[in-house]
């Protein structure tokens, strides 16, 4: 089984991974060994740079008793013109799973078609399901198994995976994006198959009854040429203390203080972003055990 989008898991499988992530987090806090994947190897293929994705997967595999192999553009033939399918076929003969962080979701799908081992989406331009797993663990810790959550800002890959995943887990989801920067209709349809999703262009309406408010950068990697246009479009979508109200604050990081969020919010007492970042480790370990064990 591959994990390319959050809804590659069934609702029961998703809940099970979140349950297992919580158990692995408790085990680590109690100092209990949990080497569930002894001797197993994970190829970590990176076209896009990352702090949290690399460290959480590499450390996670070590804690599970296995090994993570970092493969950047300068380390493999893929960056020198080798077909994606050939790279995938070779990796599948060496390792027990592949995590790929790439730009084009189609490249990820081609890796999955040819690798002959489980393939995990570490991020594409379309989806970031591993972040969503960590988000869902954080939601459970903060508000329990139900409640209303709000996404404010760009309808990007993180927003897509979070909206679908939160709906699958039974949360009501409010999404506020500027005109022209919303979620694809297909994403909304997939989310609505599982729960209630409200889409608006009004951040105040989206956050009015929310227990958690989530945002991300307005200018993602590869969008630098659109920076000024995007800053103008997202005026009024900054999460400040007034918009946040009594809700908890989430952000997938890295963050630009003074743009999508004010410093007093992300660094304040209602912020759970560091808990959320830590949960990447526990959620991904649970996922790897589900896929590889």
* pLDDT score recorded for residue 79: 55
- Tell me the pTM: 0.95
Region 232-249 average pLDDT: 97
157 appears as a binding residue in the annotation? yes
Region 15-29 average pLDDT: 97
77 appears as a binding residue in the annotation? yes
- Catalytic residue from among 2, 40, 54, 101: 101
Establish whether 128 is a catalytic residue.
yes
Establish whether 114 is a catalytic residue.
no
238 appears as a binding residue in the annotation? no
Per the prediction, the chain carries an average pLDDT of 95
Whether residue 7 has pLDDT greater than 80: yes
pLDDT level of residue 75 (50, 70, 90 thresholds): confident
* pLDDT score recorded for residue 77: 65
Which carries the bigger pLDDT value, residue 15 or residue 218?
A: 15
Establish whether 116 is a catalytic residue.
no
What the chain holds in terms of domains, given with CATH numbers, is 2-128+277-292 (3.40.50.1370), 131-274 (3.40.50.1370)
Q: How many CB atoms lie within 10 A of CB 8?
A: 16
Establish whether 190 is a catalytic residue.
no
Region 219-227 average pLDDT: 77
Least confident of 80-89, 164-173, 232-241, 263-272: 80-89
Establish whether 101 is a catalytic residue.
yes
Whether residue 280 has pLDDT greater than 90: yes
* pLDDT score recorded for residue 22: 98
DSSP class per residue in 234-267:
TTT--B-HHHHTTSEEEE-S---BTTTB-HHHHT
- Catalytic residue from among 7, 216, 230, 284: 216
* pLDDT score recorded for residue 17: 98
Whether residue 212 has pLDDT greater than 90: yes
* pLDDT score recorded for residue 112: 97
% of the chain exceeding 90 in pLDDT: 90
Establish whether 34 is a catalytic residue.
no
């Amino acid at each position: 089984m591959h994990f390319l989008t959050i809804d590659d898991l069934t609702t029961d499988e998703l809940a099970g991974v979140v349950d297992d992530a919580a158990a692995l987090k408790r085990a680590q806090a109690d100092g209990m060994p949990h080497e569930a994947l002894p001797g197993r190897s994970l190829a970590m293929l990176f076209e896009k740079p990352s702090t949290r994705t690399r460290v959480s997967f590499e450390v996670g595999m070590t804690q599970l008793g296995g090994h993570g192999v970092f493969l950047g553009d300068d380390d493999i033939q893929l960056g020198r013109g080798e077909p994606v399918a050939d790279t995938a076929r070779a990796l599948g003969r060496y390792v027990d799973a592949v995590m790929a962080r790439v730009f084009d979701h189609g490249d990820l799908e081609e890796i999955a078609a040819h690798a002959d081992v489980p393939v995990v989406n570490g991020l594409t331009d379309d989806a970031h399901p591993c972040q969503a797993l960590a988000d869902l663990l954080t939601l459970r810790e903060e508000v329990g198994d139900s409640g209303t959550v709000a996404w404010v800002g760009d309808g990007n890959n993180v927003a897509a995976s979070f909206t679908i995943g939160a709906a699958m887990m039974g949360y009501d989801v409010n999404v506020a994006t500027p005109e022209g920067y919303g979620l694809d209709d297909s994403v909304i349809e997939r989310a609505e198959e599982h729960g209630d999703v409200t889409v608006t262009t009004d951040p105040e309406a989206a956050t009015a009854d929310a227990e958690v408010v989530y945002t991300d950068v307005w200018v993602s990697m590869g969008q630098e040429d659109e920076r000024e246009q995007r800053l103008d479009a997202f005026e009024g979508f900054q999460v400040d203390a007034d918009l946040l109200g009594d809700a908890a604050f989430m952000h997938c990081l890295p963050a630009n203080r003074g743009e999508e969020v004010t410093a007093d919010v992300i660094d304040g007492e209602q912020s759970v972003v560091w808990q959320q970042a830590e949960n990447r480790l526990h959620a991904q370990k649970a996922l790897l055990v589900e896929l590889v064990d």
